[in-house]
Structure 1
Amino acid sequence: MAEADAGSGRRGAGPVPPARDRILVALTGQPNCGKSTLFNALTGVHQHIANYPGVTVDKKSGVYRDGALTVETVDLPGTYSLTSFSLEERVARAFLLESRPDVVVNVVDASNLRRGLYLTFQLIEMGFPVVVALNMMDVARSHGLSFDLETLSARLNARVVPVVGHKGTGREALRAAIRETAASGAPVPASLNYGELEEAVVTLQASLAAEPALHARVSARWLAVKLLEGDSEAERFLTAHVAHPHGLLDSAERAAAAFQARKGLSPSDQAAACRDDLAGDILATAVQRADTGRVPITERIDRFLLNRWLAPAFLVLTIWIIYELSIVQGMRLADVTWPVLAGVRDLAADWLPAAGFLHDPLPRSMGLWLLDSANALLNYVPIFLILFALIAILEDSGYMARIAFILDRILHRFGLHGQSTLPYILAGVFAGGCAVPGVMATKGIPDQRARMATILTVPFMNCLAKVPLYTLFVNIYFAETKGLVLFYLATITVIFALLVAKLLSVSVLRNMETAPFVMELPHYHLPTVTGVLRRALDRTWLYIKKVGTVVIAVATVVYVLLQFPGLPPERQADYHARGEAAIAAFRAGLADTALARTVADQDSLTRLVTLHVDVQADRAAAAGDPAALARLDARVRARHPDLAPFLVPGDDPTARTAAAALDRLAATREDLREDMRNARLLNSVLGQLGAALEPVTQYAGFDWKINVALLSSFTARENSVATLGVLFDQNEGENRTLEARMAAEQAAAGFTALTGMAVLLFFALYPPCMATVIVIRTQTGSTAWTVFSVLFPTLLAFAVASAAYSTGAALDLTGLETMTGVYLLALGALVAAGLLRRPVGRSLPRPGYRARSGSTAD
């Protein structure tokens, strides 16, 4: 490299800045170069993770002390270049331009130096004081590579420090280089010669250097190259900081067009070729390769993992392990952590105002509702810990890139990405997953359009919570063919997800910028326990903080919609009268006994009934353990000696009579409270909305009861069946299953298997539940996309269900025949969509990266 246009590279003298006690360091590097591991080695535990404003890209920062100097280090997103193709590139470049770090540490994979220098040249050309951290030296040496560090440093016009990040080797030398570089003053911006493009670069550089507003903000030469490359972000930067930018923009456009017309080559391709030539020349003078006579271990592993026939088997095995450990075992771990959350709820219940006999105070009712909503999300924490740890292992080992390599070619046809596979698997695909971790797993997809398409289609997968309603309706309407219908449901969701992803990619997502897909297959590395655990904990904690800021507001709105306007006065009076009658019967049973004085007032009676419910729950939990039951009885006698005869009657006849009366009173109270909850639901905003929607939903065969069940399932899928159990109630003395009750009532109403088919199709394509919507909001950072994620699937599901129901009714088809027709039509559409070319986004092919799939070699 050279200083500006001239001679050989050296660090400029520059003015020496005054001594400071704090500096800002930016850590940059290409993906899979070990940057995050080196960041952890530098900063230790003093780290903070947030998001860059307005985007979902992680902003990881840390602080370490170097003598009297405090060094704030920011780990920028991994990026191959400083263009404007991907969100990560724009975020990294915006930070460099706006924050102007005192030192930029460029982490480079020593075993893949030629590729890594592509980013290094651009950083140096921007005029930053750069320290090159030559990472993975152990891997490079195992490949027979040796480095002339002095020559390499002179050619790059930057200090070069060899390190092994995961072992901490070279950490102190790197810290010293950072300290000395920050104290040595600003370097003379170095550059490379762009050959036949050089004249245009120099001319535009001179014009930019004459603009005073740019002097302290950016290197004129770097900006000149970017403008000639047609970089949209560079054009916006110039427009934002120069009063009259049009002349400069026109000059850049004319120069670029003239060069391309003259040489038949775009300026960006010329610049990329010059960078690659310079990288090759530097390697020839500063790097030697000894013939070890051994095939690199990465190549040996890939002979199996990327084998045409074995690769799918390894991929399926890997996905199965991730699914088994994170979802299945994670849910088992959640069974261990749930008592902790339940204990917190019990503690909160003790602190909140006491429950009433029939009516709970609003602070108690709403407080427990909000806590239950939060616990529903916190219950996923064990899954996330395992999931993020496994993802970190895949990323650090180098296999994550190979997953994308294996599946990208197929998913690419539908506007998705190879890394869309894992979110779909975690969300359930065929059955049994959860959309919440599925949406969270989209964070690593680098292509923003594909990432958004994945986020919006992950909820189509068959999460475990959909299974109860599937089972209910299949047993009612398709008992003889349940295997075939369940197969349809398990696979039609995948078909629609791919079709919707294709539709979104050619419509609302078409103009979203997308990164060119570069299949850079890194060397395999052994992940470190510390690095994996730290990233799993960091990402999980970030999820907890993000969701915690949204869940309270959403849960409050849902609470209001389910509780208000409440019951009419006459209904409340009826429930009150029935409650008073039960209390009177209870007191009559205690007449002429000493125990009657114990519960003489209403407060003591309510306290007794509430305590009875808690004790019965504890006894049920300890059932089968005589010792535990004995301890429970002793504890009740010690803590509540006045009420113990009701709760632990023993052999005292009076106490046993009182306990039996208390059982009847508690059962009546519970029945009344449940009836009140059900009546309040029917009279609530959601209940009335279900009735109001019936004139529309009748085209899909839905009545108001199905509408209410589907609306209530927005909070959680399981609520659909629970709500149907309330709405299809049974008469006193009956003891029939919900399937039997629904089958009888719907048959009397004229419903057929067409209705069941329409409900199943609608539920399969139904919008995401509340927990998933919250996570979509945190992942997209956009209210508009969050609303779209609810409205679009609702309209799609209703359109499909209505069309299928109406067509089946018009053609006098059975429910199975109609579902078979829908399935075959969707499958045919999938094949046709797969044959169409993927839409071209707003990005251009990245210069120097030719292959879409496959390993890129030096």
Structure 2
Amino acid sequence: MKRHAPLVALAGQPNCGKSTVFNALTGANQHIANYPGVTVEKRSGSVSCDGTRATLVDLPGTYGITSFSLEEQVACDFLVTYRPDLVVNVLDASNLKRSLLLTLQLMELGVPLLIDANMMDAADKRGVRLDPEALGACLGLEVVPTAIKNSTGKQTLEGAMAEGMRCHAPCADTRIVDYGELEPAVTELSEKVMEIAPETRGKGRWVALKLLSGDHRASDTPEAPLTPFASLFSLADGYRLAFRTATGIKASRHIAEQRQAKATEIAGACLCPRTSPTRPLSDRVDAVVCHRIFGPILLVTVAWLLYQLAIVQGYRLTGLTWPLLLKGKSLLTTLLPDAGFLHDPMARALGLWVADSILALLNYIPIFLILFALIAILEDSGYMPRMAFILDKIFHRYGLHGQSTLPMVLGGVYAGGCAVPAIMSTRGIPDDRARMATILIIPMLNCLAKIPLYILLINAYFPHHKGAALFFISTVTLFMVLPVSKLLTTTALARRPEAPFIMEMPAYHLPRLRSVLQNAVSKVWLFVKKIVTVVAAVAVIVFVLIQFPGINEERTAHFDRRAHEIKTAFLTGIEGNPLARGMTDKRTEVLVRYADHYKAARFGASTPAAREKIDERFTALSPDFFAMVSPGKSPDGRRIRRELKKLIRSRKKLKHSMQQEVMEASFIGMAGKALVPVTRHAGFSWRINIALLSALMAKENSVATLGALYRQDSGSQSVAAGMKDRETGFTPLHALALMIFMALYPPCLPAAMMVKLQTGSFAWMGFSIAFPAFLGITIASGLFTLGSALDLTGLEAMALFYILAVLLTVTTGFIPSRLKSAPQI
């Protein structure tokens, strides 16, 4: 593989200070992307070591070169495929024994290796001294002691890297670990690996150990490192079975134990405990943080703070950023064709639709900035593994991971979350099966966009039990998603790789402001670059479904006649007014557009000086029109403005009626009527179906569409009252079924796009839409049918459903998982 510059990889376990080393070496010369086909971040940058310019790649933090998690797969594939000129293995000097487990596997892989014994300052504070020379002698490698956080040892490390790139010597001792009774099998498999692929050279032993561990990911991954050796799978399986029969121990467990024993031996030879060690601060803090009682209380507090800062305060900040986004939209409107009196040009309607779709996502940027910064603080401080440790035992029963806590809080465990940042935050979950399950259940939690429909239905159909109904819908979602997660992880996700839960905790660290901000900004920028193109494409598809085929010529002519009548009424009302001389039907349309532009411009002006400039600009455009729309004291102007307001209100009402008919006649309207045979079992009419289909774009659309369908033309009647009047026979039981369906509703368009980004698959995006839709309509239909058969009231059915959901959750928690996708160490 030809390269213009040497390639250096940084490898290390999570929380070893690897990212700090990467930032110190590359400075601002770095960029972030994703590895092809996966959601794992690829951080790379340029580094100069004693005049040698090289490309430095920060591999994902992993506990081993295995296939338990997506991060480990990516790191393994990179090391084997790209064959870097040098691998810098960053060790946590304060936790050497654990860090050496990865080092031993890197040595067995035979890569050119340099050891960076980082966090020497933390080791010293923990009462442990590491002898770098002794460690180098045990490993047969050069060891550079550093404390990069304090800028100690950076130049020495750069010099060692330059020397390592010049030598480009593979690791000499790939047999550093003796596997005892398994050694004959390792040796024979290594020889056969060399026969199949002589170019593998030093990594033959590593391949043999992978085969004996049962790590057969290559069986369904053509590009994986073991693909060329698929013919050896059955032979390796035979050796593994023979070893299990002879010793009673799984080969994978024996390999892990031997590595652990070697790491313990090396650590014992290199670490010199002080005669009077002090209890480390991390241990003293953990006595509270991981306490059986205080730990969960602190975790709930941290989760509440995360929710308040990221979601609540983030939404408040969107109030500042939204006007800026609207200004960008205003600039776009100047490039689009002018709006018509009743019918907008297609180019304008499509352009504004796509712009609104993209702006809806860009408006999440303040939330993402806060969220990613807080996650970076939790990760850098060392608290994130503690969160996982506290809840993993409970969540594991449902196929989730302790680190599923944060995404579920952000998604709305109680009420008021948001699925988009919640799904985005799942990238920190190391267990791929649990990460996928978390992504798929988050849209079923109570995001803020569902609340308006809940309130509408509760106010209309549970007016005397609002508190009980709100408590029900706010908490029952958790008792639905946990059994759903169990179902997914034992069926559709059963063969996704798992990561063994590592309970060894890293030491606490004070996060660095630069690292936190750099992390947050880079992730937001990556999000913006990826999401815009995907959302734009899908928005066009949704636009077509809502706008076409449209109403027929007869109805179009009807609305055109009504528009003409409205304009005629306006011209009659201003007849004889000296300011309205020369007004015609066409000039009336121009006046309406002028008035809309003037109102929008004045709305964005915050100071008298700014408003004065706007008045000057619009006066220059048309002095006659300005006299009609400006807030002057002229009696003639006031009379025209009264008539103009009537005209604009009538036009708005007419466009509203036309849009309602267009929606009914559109593909999505046809789909709503076509779905009646399916949804009638849940008590939904075609109008309800249209509202639910429109919510695929954004769940807020459900209430907006119901408003378009049920609100009277006068606008004096509320949506709830209009719904009760026009949906005859709609009872509290109907409303309950609709609330349950909305609780399990598929992700909205922005959240679906986020599923695509996090899973890297349109297939999983489609599944995330189809599965909740099927589940929701099934449960809603079952509840409605059972409630009708038992003649239950809405409140009685609500209580029955809640009890059943709690019992199902408790029961499924005790059902063991039957399928395992990866060997356990």
> Aligned partners of 2:58 and 2:375: how far apart in 1?
19
Deviation at 1:238, TM superposition (A): 11
> Aligned partners of 2:230 and 2:525: how far apart in 1?
47
Q: Are the equivalent residues in 1 in contact too, given 2:116–2:146 (CA < 8 A)? A: yes
Q: 1:200 to 1:838 in 2, by over 3 A?
A: closer
Residue 849 of structure 1 is matched in structure 2 by: none
1:335 matches 2:314: no
Look up the equivalent residue of 1:805 and give its one-letter code. F
Q: TM-score normalized by structure 2?
A: 0.95
1:730 matches 2:712: yes
Q: Secondary structure at the match of 2:90?
A: strand
Q: Are the equivalent residues in 1 in contact too, given 2:214–2:823 (CA < 8 A)? A: no
Q: 1:521 to 1:659 in 2, by over 3 A?
A: same
Residue 725 of structure 2 is matched in structure 1 by: 744
Deviation at 1:197, TM superposition (A): 2.8
Residue 200 of structure 1 is matched in structure 2 by: 185
Deviation at 1:395, TM superposition (A): 0.6
Q: Are the equivalent residues in 2 in contact too, given 1:227–1:234 (CA < 8 A)? A: no
Q: Are the equivalent residues in 2 in contact too, given 1:128–1:189 (CA < 8 A)? A: no
1:167 matches 2:146: no
1:684 matches 2:666: yes
Residue 854 of structure 1 is matched in structure 2 by: none
Residue 150 of structure 1 is matched in structure 2 by: 133
Deviation at 1:581, TM superposition (A): 2.4
1:780 matches 2:765: no
Deviations 1:605-637 (A, max 9, x none): 4332122123335556779x8887666545543
Instruction: Give the aligned CA root-mean-square deviation in angstroms.
Output: 2.5
Deviations 1:57-92 (A, max 9, x none): 111111123354221111111111112222211111
Q: 1:248 to 1:670 in 2, by over 3 A?
A: closer
Q: Are the equivalent residues in 2 in contact too, given 1:431–1:463 (CA < 8 A)? A: yes
Q: Are the equivalent residues in 2 in contact too, given 1:214–1:241 (CA < 8 A)? A: no
Deviation at 1:702, TM superposition (A): 1.1
Tell which deviates more after alignment, 157-166 or 418-427.
157-166
Look up the equivalent residue of 2:446 and give its one-letter code. N
Tell which deviates more after alignment, 768-777 or 253-262.
253-262
Residue 352 of structure 2 is matched in structure 1 by: 368
1:102 matches 2:81: no
Q: 1:250 to 1:632 in 2, by over 3 A?
A: closer
Deviations 1:402-424 (A, max 9, x none): 00111111111111111111111
Deviations 1:228-271 (A, max 9, x none): 33331477899989999577445434443333333333333333
Residue 778 of structure 2 is matched in structure 1 by: 799
Q: Are the equivalent residues in 2 in contact too, given 1:516–1:844 (CA < 8 A)? A: no
Residue 492 of structure 2 is matched in structure 1 by: 508
> Aligned partners of 2:93 and 2:792: how far apart in 1?
67
Residue 385 of structure 2 is matched in structure 1 by: 401
Q: Are the equivalent residues in 2 in contact too, given 1:78–1:88 (CA < 8 A)? A: yes
Tell which deviates more after alignment, 430-439 or 57-66.
57-66
1:811 matches 2:790: yes
Q: 1:422 to 1:596 in 2, by over 3 A?
A: same
> Aligned partners of 1:803 and 1:267: how far apart in 2?
49
Deviation at 1:785, TM superposition (A): 1.4
Residue 89 of structure 1 is matched in structure 2 by: 72
Tell which deviates more after alignment, 757-766 or 20-29.
20-29
Q: Are the equivalent residues in 1 in contact too, given 2:18–2:90 (CA < 8 A)? A: yes
> Aligned partners of 2:162 and 2:582: how far apart in 1?
77
- How many aligned positions are there? 823
Q: Are the equivalent residues in 2 in contact too, given 1:436–1:772 (CA < 8 A)? A: yes
Deviation at 1:23, TM superposition (A): 0.3
1:465 matches 2:449: yes
Q: 1:128 to 1:718 in 2, by over 3 A?
A: same
Residue 544 of structure 1 is matched in structure 2 by: 528
Residue 641 of structure 1 is matched in structure 2 by: 623
Q: Secondary structure at the match of 1:730?
A: coil
Deviation at 1:467, TM superposition (A): 1.1
Residue 245 of structure 2 is matched in structure 1 by: 261
Deviation at 1:277, TM superposition (A): 2.7
> Aligned partners of 1:768 and 1:240: how far apart in 2?
33
Tell which deviates more after alignment, 536-545 or 321-330.
536-545
Residue 13 of structure 1 is matched in structure 2 by: none
Residue 282 of structure 2 is matched in structure 1 by: 298
> Aligned partners of 1:666 and 1:572: how far apart in 2?
20
Q: 1:474 to 1:112 in 2, by over 3 A?
A: same
Q: Secondary structure at the match of 1:414?
A: coil
> Aligned partners of 1:658 and 1:496: how far apart in 2?
59
Deviations 1:106-148 (A, max 9, x none): 0110001111111111112222110111111110111232233
> Aligned partners of 2:807 and 2:13: how far apart in 1?
41
Task: Give the fraction of aligned pairs with identical amino acids, expressed as a percent.
Answer: 47
Q: Are the equivalent residues in 2 in contact too, given 1:613–1:666 (CA < 8 A)? A: no
Residue 814 of structure 2 is matched in structure 1 by: 835
Q: TM-score normalized by structure 1?
A: 0.91
Residue 115 of structure 1 is matched in structure 2 by: 98
Unpaired stretches in structure 1, ≥5 consecutive residues? 1-16, 847-858
Residue 645 of structure 2 is matched in structure 1 by: 663
Residue 134 of structure 1 is matched in structure 2 by: 117
Residue 30 of structure 2 is matched in structure 1 by: 47
Q: 1:312 to 1:240 in 2, by over 3 A?
A: closer
Q: Are the equivalent residues in 1 in contact too, given 2:410–2:422 (CA < 8 A)? A: yes
> Aligned partners of 2:348 and 2:95: how far apart in 1?
61
Deviations 1:148-188 (A, max 9, x none): 32232122122111122323322221111111011114235
> Aligned partners of 2:757 and 2:640: how far apart in 1?
54
5 Å-filtered alignment, 1:309-348, equals: 309-348=293-332
Residue 419 of structure 1 is matched in structure 2 by: 403
Q: Are the equivalent residues in 1 in contact too, given 2:131–2:270 (CA < 8 A)? A: yes
> Aligned partners of 1:252 and 1:650: how far apart in 2?
90
Q: 1:302 to 1:690 in 2, by over 3 A?
A: same
Q: 1:95 to 1:360 in 2, by over 3 A?
A: same
> Aligned partners of 1:238 and 1:750: how far apart in 2?
58
1:494 matches 2:475: no
5 Å-filtered alignment, 1:150-299, equals: 150-187=133-170, 189-190=172-173, 191-192=175-176, 193-211=178-196, 213-216=197-200, 219-233=203-217, 248-299=232-283
Deviation at 1:697, TM superposition (A): 1.6
5 Å-filtered alignment, 1:511-522, equals: 511-522=495-506
> Aligned partners of 2:233 and 2:608: how far apart in 1?
85
Residue 451 of structure 1 is matched in structure 2 by: 435
Q: Secondary structure at the match of 2:352?
A: helix
Deviations 1:736-789 (A, max 9, x none): 22222222333xx22222211111111111111111111111111112211111
Look up the equivalent residue of 2:63 and give its one-letter code. Y
Deviations 1:796-820 (A, max 9, x none): 1111111111111122111111121
Q: 1:760 to 1:217 in 2, by over 3 A?
A: farther
Unpaired stretches in structure 2, ≥5 consecutive residues? none
Match of 1:694 among 669, 672, 676: 676
> Aligned partners of 1:646 and 1:130: how far apart in 2?
79
1:565 matches 2:549: yes
Q: Secondary structure at the match of 1:479?
A: coil
Q: Are the equivalent residues in 2 in contact too, given 1:512–1:842 (CA < 8 A)? A: yes
Q: Are the equivalent residues in 1 in contact too, given 2:216–2:233 (CA < 8 A)? A: no
Look up the equivalent residue of 1:196 and give its one-letter code. E
Look up the equivalent residue of 1:730 and give its one-letter code. Q
Look up the equivalent residue of 1:491 and give its one-letter code. T
Q: Secondary structure at the match of 2:6?
A: strand
Q: Are the equivalent residues in 2 in contact too, given 1:598–1:642 (CA < 8 A)? A: no
Deviation at 1:554, TM superposition (A): 1.0
Q: Secondary structure at the match of 2:675?
A: helix
